[in-house]
Chain A
Amino acid sequence: MIPVALLAAESAAPAPFALLPSLIAVPVLTAVFIALLPANRGDFAKAAALVGSTITGAISLFVLAVFEKGDPGFQLVSQHSWVSSLGLSWILGVDGISLFLVVLTGILFPIAIVTTEAHHEPKPYYLWLMLLMAGSMGAFLALDLLLFFLFFEVVLVPMYFLIGGWGHGERVKAAMKFFLYTMAASALMLVGIVSLAVLVGRETGVPTFDVRVLAENSDVLSHTAALLIFLSFATAFAVKVPLFPLHTWLPDAHTEAPTAGSVILAGVMLKLGTYGFIRFGLYLLPEIAHELAWIFLTLGVVGIVYGAAVATMQKDLKRLVAYSSIAHLGFIVLGVFAMNAQGLTGAVLQMVNHGVSTGALFILVGWVYERRHTREIALLGGLQGVAPIMAAVFTVVMLSSIGLPGLNGFVGEFLILLGAFSSARWWAVVGVSGVILAALYLLWAYQRVFHGPVSGDNEKMSDLKLSEMFGIAPLIALIIAMGVYPKPILDRIEPSVDALVAHIGQRVDGFSEQEPEPVAPAGVDELIATAEASGHGGEAEAQEAEEGAE
């Protein structure tokens, strides 16, 4: 807690520059610390990782606390020239779009660490996890394109080793597929980044990778250049999201990854793709994003329906959750390319929701696997009888993932579809059908795993331990809190989203947000007036009629 207090003192200064860097520095230092620990004391490594990630999480909450609600711009910016001759600088900043992804990363890591175990070689395991945390934080905070790219790439390495080293089954193959797939796509992005900086720099005379500067000046690009650069970005993000048909690395990686890896992969890393689409697609190159929106809307909707359909038929519980992620991320992409306040706000919120719900799902599936040593749905059954608490927790998480109102998943999904209905009607109509399919595959899986008579090895399965309940409790609390009262989150997301939409509006000719004009809310008086105008005065009139009859 001491570091937080120190930071609090610092934050009184107008530019608490150390705040955001410390989100990256603390996990890096923790990793270094773990490297220095004796190899035979895995418990030390875990404790260190837990402390380091918790401190980082606490700092992220502190960032949330000091974040100015009404300010749409980047806050807490930390800017240092790095290689000034190249225009390369160290710029970190947070706005309403990245804020909750940073907080999500800060919360999800300690939970992933506390709810799972490294089954061998804990020291490198936790070391990689800490580097992963640093990389994820950096990617969400970076406002310099090259710096972003650096972090975007850096996260691949620890994830590669986590899957390859601590995964299940065909882990090496899955890790390789994951690595090559994402690496190949981001190589393209690097070309795009450099071309963008060079081409814009040539026009403005100032070489820079600063996103804010590039976004304001990217209209100097020729249409072809902008299109190619956008496509190079989009390919990298589409693989990361992943969008159909570039998604096949995901089920393999998810299924073979250790539980913590799956939690982080789904909860944090996939969001790099959708976040990238917003920050480095819509913001950086709004004209092209607008022009090509139909492609991504289509791919998003295909992902919703296709991911759900394929998820339904999976025989492996973890693979099923992995495919459900494809469907959920499809919703987010739909919201992003709806390009209006509701769609984008919903998309950002849904990124957080998906992290919480799917993270929790992976933790639960991991627990089932640890107890039963199988994820084969056909071999499970009747678990509600032997593990009622686990079943109850699973039910809440499942309902959240299905998008039940009152739980977190709904608000995001609703806003996305509402926004898409205004700007991309038919895509929204198809997207809504995903709501039916989500209920189908999850409830069917739940029925096969938890309902029915309990038999065989399932009879001996134990319920959640107290420590496990405490571990997952924060996620359950978030699922409920964000569903019942999302306003504090929406209030912080929205100004930045509005600014983004305004930015798009300025740059794209004939762009309209296509959302209805706000109406002055009607109240009781209007209702009364309408009732009166209908000429039916209730009892009074009845009496008159009666009297008239007499």
Chain B
Amino acid sequence: MLEAAWLIPAFPLVGFVLLVAFGRRLGDPVAGWLATLASAGAFASTLVVFVGLVGEEGERRFFIQHLFSWVAAGSFSVDAGLLVDPLAVTMCLFITGVGTLIHLYSIGYMHGDRNYSKFFVYLNLFVFSMLILVLGDNMLLTFLGWEGVGACSYLLISFWFTSEANASAGKKAFVTNRVGDFGFMLAMFLLFHEIGSIRYADILTRASTLSTFAATLAVVLLLLAAAGKSAQLPLYVWLPDAMAGPTPVSALIHAATMVTSGVFLLTRLNPVLAEADTWSRGLVAWIGAGTALFAATVALAQNDIKKVLAYSTVSQLGYLFLAVGVGGYVAAIFHMVTHAFFKALLFLGSGSVIHGMHDEQDMRRMGGLYKFMPLTGFTFIVGWLAIAGVFPFSGFWSKDEILLYAWNADEIGGKGLWVVGIVTAVLTAFYMTRQVILTFFGRTRFYDATGAEITEAWSARIDAVRQEMTAAEVARDKAAEAVGKATDDVAKRTEALEAARGEVRQANAAVATSNPADDGHDKLVKALDKAVKAVPKAEQALAKATDGVGTAEAGVLTATDELDAAVARLDELKARQPALPPLLVTARTSAPDVSEVEDNLPESYRHRQEYHPHESPATMTLPLMVLAVLAALGGLLNLPFTSRLKVLEHWLEPSLFGHEAELSASAATKWVLAALALGGALGAIVFSFRVYLRGRMRPETFEKPVFAHAWYVDDSYADFFGGPGRKLFDLAAWFDRTIVDGAVRGTATVLSGAGRYLRVAQPGFVRAYATFIGFGTVLVMAWFLVGRLYLRQ
């Protein structure tokens, strides 16, 4: 049965090859099912091997399968071979088990993506690499898997490559990990140099021949490698950014499996750690504890649902390092497994939320989702209780174990480690409760108008008043114009009246001077009559025109009033525009008041009112349910009550070669420590309820800007590499262009005679060359002859 070991990585490899060849043709969802089948095949093979290994007696549980000779030169030689032992099989079980569930989940999650099959190509390749990492029988093969998972991580983080942010995140992950690889490679070189081989069988059996110095140096180098892959201080910065990848990737690669590689590596090489100076193990533990606490504080103030989980992952990985540093290897693997269960569950749950929420990731926009997606909500709560360390969920047991071993490690400041551990545990319970409340309970803030929408609505509203104002202005101008016109009219009418009166005078004079006997007299009298009659008409017209001026002037007054009113309204409206809704949110935070601008809210808001968060399809909820069961019951793997119940401990024993630390704490101490941890977790949960559900305290107290900005570590890196770091590279490029090449050009100029000649002679250079060669040949001949003559002497 152990001979089936090669099948474990073979399944995903075959899946990968088939998908590369036919993936596009198989398409959505067949390609996904094929990939899932490949992963399931690996899981089944692992089960077979597992059963085979269980069939062996305790310390005989080793099996090496030689596949082919890989690299050999001089005394160096490594095979492509598999080392099957309890540690490797444990890793394989949860990698393939959780991996298969996440494959299944991805079938639904990635549905409709234009690069659907490519996603599964990468996913299968990842599982293959990860299995090689844990199954390889030498460090070089582990390194192959190590780099392979890194490459897959890079490809999957930048899977949606059209966004610059995703592309940058992928690159950042790869390059940061390379810094760790620097340590891995040097550790390999060192161990080869000291032991003469980098096969695990050789290292593990000959580690005791290492000098303390060599072993210590190796541990430091391995720690660097592990800190890169497992996102520990100071190399953690890539992991939060890695959340740019699709959520199943975050669950599988950046939570459950790949990021635990560093812990696996240190556990695998536990005999080397055992030979090293105590301080180097202390360094491992303290780096882990520091990272755990640091990341937990940052998680307090994150609003992106995935960012909380990302920092939580960094924090929990710190826990694993802490465990390894204090010699609690079993506790480390135990927590690694339970963490894989509950963190994969939480990530997949968050993916389900994001999927059902129109790609919304901001928890401030969630709330009350439990009623829309009860399955996701219920399983998420299980994950929350597990990570918070609530009895009897899995996290309680594994975390307790780590804290116990920390307490025990007196030579490296165990009590301090324990304090850091318990503070981290309290913070974890606190921020995870916050996440659950903000996501699933309280008011559904999904429908609230967003700050941007409110701003937009108010500007629309203000714009409307502005338009009214403009209209009033136009009306006023029109009225003023009318006044002018009316005034002109009055002047005209006055003139007309004068003219009429003049005519009367003229007619009068004419009548007076004319002889009534004349024929024309009557005519003149008639004209006078007419002229006299015209005067009252002109008078009337003038009166009317004068009235017109009055009316027009009244119109100007009205228009001016209207304008004033509009300006006043605008001012008043501006004054009334509310501040944006608060940035910090609890379940009690009320909806921003938009009643005044209801009609002005943009389309996105209206659109959202018609959309309802929904539960995800069965391919997605089924894995959630399975993982929830595992997250709840994972503690059964290693119950501390009797020796017989410590299944995992006995199972892993052969792989640890007796380097597991011995516990000296009394039973009473154990009970007290466990009670303290549980009490702390429950207290934090209750407290978080008070803050975020009941609103009894302001969230500002906990969500400090320094936490939100992750203590400005990443920003400082960015400032350095974008500033002085980049300048250094620029300097190198400038140096090359100006100094090195400049020297060459300078020399050419100094030899200007030849240089200028050659440049001038360019067109005929062929000839010049031929001459040169000919001359050279003669020279050679001359040398020969001289040599011959010389020799003859």
* Residues of chain A whose beta carbon lies under 8 Å from any beta carbon of chain B: 85-86, 88, 146, 153, 157, 160, 172, 176-177, 180-181, 187, 190, 194, 197-198, 201-202, 205, 207, 244-245, 247-249, 306, 309-310, 312-314, 340-342, 345-346, 382, 384-385, 395, 399, 404-406, 410-411, 414-415, 417-419, 421-422, 428-429, 432-433, 435-436, 439-440, 443-444, 447, 450-454, 485-487, 490-491, 494, 497-498, 513, 515-519, 521-524, 526-532, 534-543, 545-546, 549
Contacts and interface: CB of A to CB of B under 8 A. Distances in A.
With most chain B CB atoms within 10 A of its CB, the pick from A428, A498, A516, A527 is: A527
B568 interface: no
Contacts of B195: 516, 519
Contacts of B650: 538-539, 542
Task: Give the 3 A-B CB pairs with smallest separation, nearest first.
Answer: A538-B58, A341-B74, A534-B658
Contacts of B744: 177, 181, 248-249
B57 interface: yes
Given A439-B175, A451-B161, A310 B656 contact: no
Contacts of A190: 776, 780
Contacts of B155: 395
Given A194-B780, A313-B729, A516-B193, 10 more contacts: A198-B790, A202-B791, A244-B740, A248-B744, A249-B744, A406-B144, A418-B76, A439-B178, A485-B70, A516-B195
Nearest to A405: B144
B73 A538 contact: no
Nearest to A146: B780
A135 B650 CA distance: 67
Interface stretch (B29-37, B303-311, B641-649): B641-649
B701 interface: no
Interface string B156-179: 001001111011101100110011
The residue among A187, A247, A384, A531 with the most chain B CB atoms within 10 A of its own CB is A531
Contacts of A529: 205
A245 B740 contact: yes
B653 interface: yes
Contact of B57 (A201, A433, A498, A540): A540
Chain A binding site: helix, strand, loop or mixed by DSSP? helix
A487 B72 contact: yes
14 contacts: A86-B788, A88-B784, A180-B748, A247-B740, A248-B741, A306-B736, A309-B732, A313-B732, A439-B175, A530-B271, A531-B59, A534-B658, A538-B653, A542-B643
B63 interface: yes
Interface in B180-236: 181-182, 185-186, 188-190, 192-197, 199, 201-202, 204-206
Contacts of A86: 784, 788
Given A451-B161, A549-B643, A513 B73 contact: no
A385 B61 CA distance: 50
A86 B74 CA distance: 40
Contacts of B192: 418, 421, 516
Interface of B: 57-64, 68-76, 85, 140, 143-144, 146-148, 151, 154-155, 158, 161-164, 166-168, 170-171, 174-175, 178-179, 181-182, 185-186, 188-190, 192-197, 199, 201-202, 204-206, 271, 642-644, 646, 650-651, 653-660, 728-730, 732-733, 736, 740-741, 743-744, 748, 758-759, 762, 769, 773, 776, 780, 783-784, 787-788, 790-791
Contacts of B762: 172, 176
A355 B741 CA distance: 25
B19 to A, nearest CB: 13
A6 to B, nearest CB: 34
B653 A536 contact: yes
A486 B72 CA distance: 9
B534 to A, nearest CB: 80
Given A201-B787, A487-B69, A515-B76, A417 B175 contact: no
A347 B227 CA distance: 31
A304 B407 CA distance: 47
B130 to A, nearest CB: 13
Contacts of B199: 521-522
A521 B185 contact: no
Contacts of A157: 769
Nearest to B733: A313
B201 A526 contact: yes
A202 B793 CA distance: 10
Given A531-B654, A538-B58, A435 B182 contact: yes
B73 A345 contact: yes
B-side binding surface: helix, strand, loop or mixed?
helix
B110 to A, nearest CB: 17
A79 B58 CA distance: 66
B189 A428 contact: yes
- Residue among A153, A399, A545 with most chain B CB within 10 A: A399
B167 A447 contact: yes
Contacts of A405: 140, 143-144, 146-148
Contacts of B85: 527
Given A312-B729, A515-B74, A536 B656 contact: yes
Contacts of B780: 146, 190, 194
Contacts of B71: 411, 414-415, 486-487, 490
A497 B660 CA distance: 45
Given A345-B73, A399-B151, A540-B58, A418 B68 contact: no
A530 B140 contact: no
A543 B644 contact: yes
B201 A435 contact: no
Contacts of B148: 404-406
B165 to A, nearest CB: 10
A3 to B, nearest CB: 31
A522 B195 CA distance: 12
A364 B730 CA distance: 26
B182 A436 contact: yes
Contact of B60 (A172, A452, A528, A530): A528
B147 A494 contact: no
Nearest to B658: A534
A435 B161 contact: no
Nearest to A149: B780
A345 B76 CA distance: 11
Given A248-B741, A309-B729, A531-B657, A436 B178 contact: yes
Contacts of B748: 180
A384 to B, nearest CB: 5
Given A202-B791, A309-B729, A540-B57, A452 B75 contact: no
A542 B167 contact: no
B187 to A, nearest CB: 11
B164 A198 contact: no
B196 A443 contact: no
Contacts of B181: 435-436
A395 B121 CA distance: 14
A513 to B, nearest CB: 7
Contacts of A194: 780, 783-784, 787
Contacts of A421: 186, 189-190, 192-193
Contacts of A444: 171
Contacts of B167: 447, 451-452
B59 A537 contact: yes
Contacts of B759: 176
A428 B75 CA distance: 18
A521 B68 contact: no
A175 B168 CA distance: 38
Contacts of A542: 643-644, 646, 650
A313 B730 contact: yes
Question: Of B68, B163, B170, B202, which is in contact with the most chain A CB atoms at under 10 Å from its CB?
Answer: B202
Given A313-B733, A447-B167, A519-B202, A346 B162 contact: no
Contacts of A487: 68-72
Contacts of B206: 519, 522
A440 to B, nearest CB: 5
A245 B742 CA distance: 11
A434 to B, nearest CB: 10
